[in-house]
Structure 1
Amino acid sequence: MSTVRGAGVVVTGAGGGIGAALARRFAAEGARVVVNDLNAEKARTVAAEIGARAVPGDASLIVAEAREALGGTVDIYCANAGVGAPGDALSEDDVWSAAWDVNVMAHVRAVRALLPDWLERGSGRFVSTVSAAGLLTMIGAAPYSVTKHGALAYAEWLSLTYRHRGLAVHAICPQGVRTDMLTASGSAGDLVLAATAIEPEAVADALFAAMAEDRFLVLPHPEVAGYHQARAADPDRWLATMNRVQQTWEGATR
């Protein structure tokens, strides 16, 4: 893609899974890529594989170093790092705080560092890896579902506020993807996500299709659009259906 070749791209959480797939795809399309991950060894392994630069560390704090590694300009920032955060209404504050910090506030901090330059140049691209849980919800994962709703709301706000000033925003909302996070979701993931899980590379394909079409919502599982429409059209029916899924899960885990 002409908009990607030569672009400076940062992908957080790129030591594996969706992030690694995004980094590989951007590099294959001719972008100059910075691979970020909290696990330094994983970040360096992926970077070495694709001829990129590794900038390990907390995704909230690496924008300045990543910009320097790219020669002063970040054109595309993929806020992909996230935590699964299973839990319920009784989860402790530290669980909620960790999910909020990584799944929402890391995006806010990155944009705070990037936005002035993007607005001055009149161009920039922010990619948020949200999850279908941000459009719908996920059983057994209250902190994850709530914070992913927050990530989606933030991406929507950025798009409606700055698109006329050159900022393109994309929200990636897959269901199950064959990554460590899916494995960690346990029996809830097995029930709801495993049967239709896709490879991380399919998520990268969906993002590139959305970028080509200048489309905000990225749905690697197209059926999520129908679920989202059903939820909006009849919330009570949708909630009743999801409650039956919840009851099935509870019965299976007793």
Structure 2
Amino acid sequence: MEVRNKTVIVTGGGTGIGRALVLAFARAGARGIAVADIDEAGASQVAAEAVAAAPGCQIFSQRVDVANAEAVQKLVDTATQRFGQVDVFCSNAGIILRKGLDATADEWQRIWEINVMAHIHAAKAVLPQMLERGDGYFVNTVSAAGLLSQIGSAPYAVTKHAAIGFAEWLSITYGDRGIKVSCICPQGVQTKMLFGEGGERKGFLQAGSVTAEHVAEKTLEGVANESFLILPHPEVLEYYRRKGQDYDRWLRGMRRLHDQVTKEFGNIVV
């Protein structure tokens, strides 16, 4: 898809990968961008940055809790009223929970709502107009954890696998009706999720991490090529192939990695 003159929604747009996506789409010539985030001030700030970067682009910000289906529908309705239609929905918002079996049922529910249901809410809200036109694009930020796993976080590993599963289903079901789907699956990205609010967190994914801007650049390349998997860390594809070729061997290797990183970093390994 050529992003020039297209209209875009980016959730989780107030920081990190979302911010980088907003600015990248603006600079690439998008006609309109909706910047959504639960942090209203953050979304507003990024919208202002995008206006400065691309004065000809129509941009607005909106506070949205992506776990709330009605809020996501309202976002799509507002963007449609302002831009005429929504061409690209970047379902980017996500959270991590650094727990295993100690995670509570409420914690599992919350991460499920944001990391999985948010993608489903987005599809329900915007897919009807895309199908009517026979054209539309979903760009879902997932993680390499959706293809591989996540040492140190059972909820993150599980929900990211589920997010990949939904994106696959979406592409299988609607791909022949003009609907494109891409999943952004990076490893470590230099954001607050990786380093913590004050940069105090240490973990094995920091080595080899990339900037959010790099992820956004690779995303635009992936959208232009209409690639299902967007891999800012190209080595992830080789890891995924090894997993498929010999699952048991891959699991043994992951156990060794688990032992190595927990020995070095303790429970804070992501």
Identity of aligned residues (%): 44
Where do 5+ consecutive residues of structure 2 fail to align?
Answer: 52-58
Counterpart selection for 1:219 from 202, 216, 231:
231
1:67 touches 1:74 (CA, 8 Å); kept in 2? no
Q: Whole-Å Cα distance in 1 between the matches of residues 262 and 190 of structure 2?
A: 24
- Following superposition, the deviation at residue 95 of structure 1 comes to 1.3
SS at match of 1:193: helix
Q: What residue is the counterpart of 2:75 in the other structure?
A: 65
Amino acid in the other structure paired with 1:99: I
2:131 touches 2:179 (CA, 8 Å); kept in 1? yes
Q: Whole-Å Cα distance in 2 between the matches of residues 88 and 3 of structure 1?
A: 42
Q: What residue is the counterpart of 2:39 in the other structure?
A: 39
TM-score, reference length from structure 1: 0.94
2:76 touches 2:126 (CA, 8 Å); kept in 1? no
- Following superposition, the deviation at residue 66 of structure 1 comes to 4.1
Counterpart selection for 2:123 from 105, 111, 123:
111
Counterpart selection for 1:53 from 57, 60, 63:
60
TM-score, reference length from structure 2: 0.88
2:47 touches 2:60 (CA, 8 Å); kept in 1? yes
Counterpart selection for 2:250 from 220, 235, 238:
238
2:3 touches 2:224 (CA, 8 Å); kept in 1? no
Q: Whole-Å Cα distance in 2 between the matches of residues 140 and 175 of structure 1?
A: 14
Question: Structure 1 residues 241-250 or 44-53, which shifts more?
Answer: 241-250
Q: Deviations over 1:165-205 (max 9, x none)?
A: 000000000000000111149xxx84431110000011111
Q: Whole-Å Cα distance in 2 between the matches of residues 195 and 65 of structure 1?
A: 37
Q: Whole-Å Cα distance in 1 between the matches of residues 163 and 202 of structure 2?
A: 24
Q: Whole-Å Cα distance in 1 between the matches of residues 48 and 73 of structure 2?
A: 20
- Following superposition, the deviation at residue 56 of structure 1 comes to 1.4
Where do 5+ consecutive residues of structure 1 fail to align?
Answer: none
1:125 touches 1:168 (CA, 8 Å); kept in 2? yes
- Asked if residue 158 in structure 1 is aligned to residue 158 in structure 2, the reply is no
- Asked if residue 101 in structure 1 is aligned to residue 113 in structure 2, the reply is yes
Q: Deviations over 1:107-126 (max 9, x none)?
A: 10110111111111100000
Count, aligned residues: 251
- The correspondence of residues 80-229 of structure 1 with structure 2, limited to 5 A, is 80-184=92-196, 190-229=202-241
> RMSD of the TM alignment (CA)?
1.8
Q: Which runs of 4+ in 1 moved over 3 A?
A: none
- Following superposition, the deviation at residue 94 of structure 1 comes to 1.2
- Following superposition, the deviation at residue 208 of structure 1 comes to 1.2
SS at match of 1:55: strand
Amino acid in the other structure paired with 2:222: A
